[in-house]
Amino acid sequence: MAVETKQVLTGCAHDCGGKCLLVAHVVHGRVTRITADQEAMRRYHIEPCVRGLVYEKRVHHPDRLTSPLIRTGPRGGAEFREASWDEALALVAERLAEIRDAYGPGGFLSMGRSGSFTACLHATRLVTQRFLSLAGGFLGTTGNYSNGAAGPASLYTYGTEETGNSRSDWLRSKLLLIWGWDPVVTVLGSNTGWALREAKRQGVPIIVVDPRRTATAAYADRWIPIRPGSDVALLNALAYELVRNGWHDEAFLRQHTVGWEAYRAYLDGTADGVPKAAEWQEPITGVPAETARWLAREYGTRRPAALMPGWAPQRSRQGEQFHRAAAALASFAGYVGVPGGGAAGINRGPGPGGKAQLPVPTNPFKPTIPIYRWVDCVLRGYEAPDEPATRPGQDAYPARPKAIYLVGGSPLGQHPDTRKTARALEALDFTVAHDQFMNPSARYADVVLPATTFLERNDILTPYDGIGAFYLFQRQAIAPVGQSRNDFDILAELAGRLGFGEAYTEGRDEDAWLRWIAAAADIPDYEAFRERGLHFTTPPGADGDPEGREPHVAFEEQVGRGLPWPTPSGKIELYSERLAQRDDPLVPPIPTYIDHREGPTDALRARFPLQMISPKSKRRTNSTMDNVFGDEQAVTLHPADAASRGLQAGQRVRVWNERGAVLVPLRVSDHLLTGVAELQSGAWVTWDEHGDDVRGCPNTLTSDEGTAWGQSSTQQTVLVEISPS
């Protein structure tokens, strides 16, 4: 007798850089495999990656949590007992009420993370913040780990984060300059792979600037290796070369920018006597002056060219300056707001999102802290931040959280300085976690509640970062595994126990909320949308472009029709008066290269001579999936760096600095710049009896000192040494 296979059209909800339509193949209530929806992939270029296509391994993983757990041993250990939902939720409600009464809303820290991302209903961030807002409030956080420096830089330069052109606009470029981004792995738009291949097929030259010869760099026409953290110096030198050779667009600068004269004076060396020429940047970046001049000529004369900065370089101590300098280069070339060009900002698209989602009430507790400072805040409370205490504009923390509500995330491993993070998790009075696995952070929780995956619930998804003009319907493929429940239902019952259940649900169950969201999204036929799984807000292009019939060009109306830019001055602000008023030498009003700690010129390199980078893995979404693939972490060195240390490929080595050490095997590759060590992000930190991390989490080694301006991630600015283990 043939086994009946049910095929369920669904969508992937992870924070992977894309949003894709999938087909779950279900036999007897189990997902046996996952494939791409062929029409979405072939016709509309919505192309899923390996993380979604092997998801059945995660759903039915033998370590899946299937019942509520209550701690019985010390935090950080694995001593839990099973409990009923009634007992677990009663305990959570009791402890939350006690902390609310004792400490007020500042006692709660909302840690709804990105486990379910761009979902309209079951988004882990939305459900958590809605619950805690209705519970009386919480200490909010600003920024994020992904692009927390790029966002403010774009806002202060352009007045908006919506700075990205359509991927299909690349086909109108004469050059693609991809900087610190590996779209083959981190995609940032489900149609990015298609656009990259099509640009290559049509003969658009592709240049990649990156410390690694990434999969994208291998695909490109030229790879230019650069020292991590030095990108601003090369960008400034390119702008200098544009002006020196007359490749800049002065008419554009005069009409559309303010402060271009001040930036040009900086480039010329008027203030410090140092022209920012190609020769100046070479000892900083490691890029030969001849190469820098060639790159300036290519970018300045192949008109128009598109500079596509990734988010890796902005995860450095000069993160905001990287995107400010990239935007200045694009402005000097006159490529902003023109087809085939690019604004070189955070590159968010205009796609749907925002209004059509589970609403989050206004948080009654107004103070916030940067997300990068939450660990320090838990440990130090009302004292001033410790890095550095004398920086202008730095205030004391507004509260000291006593409880964390953690949904869909693992900050122990994703937050820097894992030892300090562990101390903060130990210091809390109470932590509750929703998850599918006992990840490193869940081990510190007092109650762990088993949550469903996206294959066990219904939802509506929007494109990643607005890159796409469509909604996806995520249909439930199987019943919840074990006793797991979705996050919304868990929090709804807790809200009922705490006296605001009706306010939380508004009388709607999952289906009613999804119909409400569809109506808010102006989706005319909910049933047809649910059946097909795909609704376009703008008709796709003739080539199937999911971003619309005509490629979107950010700021085309400002350049073409003379509309004002959404900044205080009404123009692109290459000089920011708001930044000047901060009077902070680490936050200059024009994009300036500044020597910084653990950077290319730090004297600490005498002790820790290797700059470590921690790029994304194609097999993990942040730390999600680390337990699924199970492949061994390894650190990569250039052959010359390995040889100078007497190290061999495959040898177990110790990667260390003053913050900690990891023990991992060594890989050797000439696809990496000398002086750089690569350890991919996302491994679940696992300490041995000596306190060394034997899984290879790079945040064992990173600092929690944020960027000077936005207090954002500096996880790509870290010095280490490698020796035999």
**Could you tell me which of 486, 394, 253, 249 has the C-alpha nearest to residue 705?**
394
CATH number of 69-146+366-457+480-529: 3.40.50.740
| Closest alpha carbon to 58 in 89, 16, 86 | 16
What is the mean pLDDT of the segment spanning 267-282? 96
**What is the 8-class DSSP label of residue 391?**
S
Q: Which CATH architecture has domain 164-345?
A: 3-Layer(aba) Sandwich (3.40)
pLDDT, mean of residues 18-34: 96
SS3 56: helix
Beta pairing, strands 6-11 & 21-27: antiparallel
Q: What is the DSSP letter of 472?
A: E
Residue where the block lists tokens 């020597």: 595
**Minimal CA–CA distance to 700: which of 688, 711, 708?**
688
Q: What is the pLDDT of residue 710?
A: 85
pLDDT of 388 = 44
> Residue 393 has what pLDDT?
42
Distance CA 681, CA 75 (A): 24
Quick one: what percent of the chain has pLDDT higher than 70?
A: 98
Residue 7 or residue 2, greater confidence: 7
DSSP string computed for 584-618: -TTS-SS------TTSTT-GGGGTS-EEEE-PPPT
The domain defined by 603-724 folds into Barwin-like endoglucanases (2.40.40)
Domain ranges of the chain: 69-146+366-457+480-529, 164-345, 603-724
Q: pLDDT by residue (tens digit) across 98-108? A: 999 999 999 99
pLDDT value at position 392?
40
- Rg over alpha carbons for the chain, rounded to the nearest Å, is 25
Instruction: Tell whether the model's pLDDT for residue 384 goes beyond 80.
Output: no
Predicted confidence (pLDDT) at residue 390 exceeds the cutoff of 60:
no
Mean pLDDT throughout 259-286? 97
Q: What is the mean pLDDT of residues 692-721?
A: 94
Amino acid 391: pLDDT: 42
- Residue 383 pLDDT: 59
Whether 394 shows a pLDDT value over 60: the answer reads: no
Burial of 528 (0-12, 13-18, 19+ CB in 10 A): exposed
Q: How would you classify the pairing of strands 403-407 and 430-435?
A: parallel
Note the pLDDT of residue 1.
Answer: 57
Peptide bond into 304 cis (omega under 30): yes
Lowest mean pLDDT among 161-165, 351-355, 494-498, 636-640: 351-355
Tokens of 108: 């709660």
| Digit-coded pLDDT (tens) for 600-646 | 989 999 999 999 999 999 989 899 999 998 788 999 999 999 999 99
Least confident piece of the model among 374-378, 389-393, 416-420, 539-543: 389-393
Percent pLDDT > 90 in the chain is: 93
